[in-house]
Amino acid sequence: GATSQLTISAIGSQTAGTAFNVTVTAKDAQGNTTPSYTGTVSVTSSDSAAELPSSHTYVAGDNGAYAFT
The Cα 57–Cα 38 span in angstroms is 6
pLDDT at 17: 85
Parallel/antiparallel/unpaired status of strands 22-27 and 5-9 = antiparallel
Q: Encode burial over 30-43: b for 16+ CB neighbours within 10 A, e otherwise.
A: eeeebeebeeebee
pLDDT at 5: 97
First to last CA, the chain: 28
- Report the 10 Å Cβ neighbour count for 65: 17
pLDDT at 65: 98
- Report the 10 Å Cβ neighbour count for 26: 25
pTM tops 0.85, yes or no: yes
